[in-house]
Copies of this chain bind each other. A is one copy, B any other.
Amino acid sequence: MRPTVHDIAAAAGVSLATVDRVLNQRPGVRHVTREKVENAIREIGYVRDVAAANLAKGRTYPLVFILPTSDNSFMHGLNDEVQAAIARSSVERTQIRTVEVPAFDPSALVRVLDELGEERPSGIALVATDAPEVRDAVDRLVKDGIPVVTLVSDLTGSQRHHYAGVDNIAAGRTAARLLGRFLGSSKGEVAVLAGSMLVRDHRERLEGFAAVMAAEFPSLSILPVIEGRDDPDMAHMLVADALSKKSGIIGIYSLGAGNRGLIKALKEKAVDRSLTVVAHELTAHTRAALLDGTIDAILNQNAGHEVRSAIRVLKAKADGLSVIEAQERIRLDIFLKDNLP
C-alpha cells in the first residue's frame, strides 16, 4: 500500500499535526523538525494523494485562457476546444474562463495579463504575441507564482512554465521537404503566405522553411512573404494578385490561418496550372481542399490536445507536481488525403 501521512508521522517520530504543518508549509515548525519530516517523506517515498487532498480542500482550479479575436477556423476550433474543456470542468475541478484580446496587439495583451495578476487565478494559458513587453508581463506573473503556459505560439526569452504547441521550426522544415520532394526536379518559384511576422510561430515556420529550401532544394526560389493577417479575405486578394502577376509559381506554402481565402484564390486562378500546395491547420475548408486535390499536404496541430495539455500542465504546476513530458509534447500532424481523421 502507498504510504500516508500517518506513515510519515510514525517514521519521523512526530505527530500528524506537525506533518501537516510541513506538508502545507504552515508556520510553527523548528528547522530541525521540518528536516526530520522531509527526510522521512523522501525515505518512505510518500506522494500526496491529490484526489484526497482536493476532496478535503474542496479545491478547484480557476484557469484563464487568453485567446485572440480572430475570424479564422483554427481559432474558432481552439475556442471550441476550450468550451469543451469548460463543459468538463466539474469533473476536472477546473473553473475555466476565456478572455478575448485583439490579435497581434501586444499592449492589449499586457493590459489583460496585468489585470490577471491581481485576480491570481491558478493558472493562465495564452496565445502569445511575441513582444518584449508581453514577455515582461508574463515574467511578472511567473515571479508572482502564477503558472503560465503559452499556447500555439511561444514567447521568446520568457520564463513561462511550458509551451503547449508544436515545434514550428520543425514544421517549416517539414513543409519545405514535402514541397521539395513532391516537386521533384522541377524548377520554379514558391510563394509563402503567412499571417503576421509579429507572432513567433509564423516567424519560426518561415525560418525552418527557408533553411531547408536553401540547403536542399536549390532549384526552387522563395518569393517575398505575403502577410495576410490570418484573414480569409485579405489572403484571397493577395494570393490572387500574386498568381496573376507571377507565372513562375509552382508551389505554395501557407503557414498561417485564413486558408479559406487561399483556397478560393487557387480555385479561381489556378485551375489550369498544376501547383503543389502545403498548408497549415486542418479545418473544414482545408480538409475539403486536400480531398479534392487543391492542397497536397496539411500540417496540423491538434487544438484539442493543446488545450487538454495546457490544462494538465497548469494543474500540475499549481500543485507543484511534475508532468509526463512525452505526453505533453504536441506533435506535428501531417495529413495527406489518405490519413485524415
Contact of A208 among B91, B177, B212, B338 (CB under 8 A): B338
Please determine whether B339 and A327 come into contact, CB atoms closer than 8 angstroms.
no
Please determine whether B327 and A304 come into contact, CB atoms closer than 8 angstroms.
yes
Shortest A164–chain B CB gap in Å is 15
0/1 interface trace, chain A 107-121, chain B, CB 8 Å (1 if under): 000000000000000
- Bound together, the chains give a CA A308 to CA B328 distance in angstroms of 12
Minimum CB distance partner of A48 in chain B = B91
- Bound together, the chains give a CA A266 to CA B47 distance in angstroms of 50
Interface size on A, residues (CB 8 A): 43
- Say yes or no: is A75 at the interface (Cβ < 8 Å to chain B): no
Shortest A260–chain B CB gap in Å is 23
Query: A314-341: which residues lie under 8 A (CB-CB) from chain B?
Result: 324, 326-327, 329, 331-334, 336-341
Q: How many copies does the complex hold?
A: 2
- Bound together, the chains give a CA A176 to CA B339 distance in angstroms of 11
Contact of A55 among B52, B88, B338 (CB under 8 A): B52
Please determine whether A170 and B212 come into contact, CB atoms closer than 8 angstroms.
no
0/1 interface trace, chain A 35-61, chain B, CB 8 Å (1 if under): 000000000000101011011000000
Please determine whether B341 and A327 come into contact, CB atoms closer than 8 angstroms.
no
Minimum CB distance partner of A173 in chain B = B338
Please determine whether B170 and A339 come into contact, CB atoms closer than 8 angstroms.
yes
- Say yes or no: is A171 at the interface (Cβ < 8 Å to chain B): yes
Contact of A341 among B329, B338, B340 (CB under 8 A): B329
Task: Please report A residues at the B interface, Cβ cutoff 8 Å.
Answer: 2, 47, 49, 51-52, 54-55, 88, 90-91, 167, 170-171, 173-174, 176-178, 181-182, 184-185, 208, 212, 296, 302, 304-305, 308, 324, 326-327, 329, 331-334, 336-341
- 12 other A-B residue contacts (CB within 8 Å) besides A181-B182, A331-B341: A47-B91, A51-B52, A52-B55, A167-B339, A173-B339, A182-B182, A302-B331, A308-B327, A329-B341, A331-B331, A332-B339, A333-B333
30 pairs, CB–CB < 8 Å, chain A vs chain B: A47-B90, A49-B55, A51-B51, A51-B55, A52-B55, A88-B324, A167-B339, A170-B339, A170-B340, A173-B338, A173-B339, A174-B339, A177-B337, A178-B336, A181-B181, A181-B296, A182-B182, A184-B184, A184-B185, A208-B338, A304-B326, A304-B327, A308-B324, A308-B327, A329-B341, A331-B331, A331-B333, A331-B341, A332-B339, A334-B339
